[in-house]
Amino acid sequence: MKTLRVDAAALGLDFDAALKLAAAIAAQQLGDDTMLLSWYDRERGLESPAGVSECHEGCATKGSWDYALNRGARLAVEFEAGRFTFCFL
């Protein structure tokens, strides 16, 4: 999976704004027919699909990342060193 790291701290993006930007990046990189497979919000301690990290406690790999990898994700867009991560197919 290709990973794009975006340092957008100066922009002050919240989760929704980061998601919109990540989706635009994914459409540009992969084409218009993209699908968000998983996401992680470190600030709020939330992820989607919910609960995928339960079996990854103590692991170096986040559950949302592993979930996306195992479903063919082609692009991850990571903001501010993991503050928000979005994985796309």
- Domains of the chain in start order, with CATH, are 2-88 (3.30.1490.340)
Model pTM score: 0.87
Kindly tell me if the per-residue pLDDT of 59 is higher than 70. no
Residue 10 confidence (pLDDT): 74
- How many helices (DSSP H) and strands (DSSP E) are in the chain? 2, 5
More confident residue, 81 or 88: 88
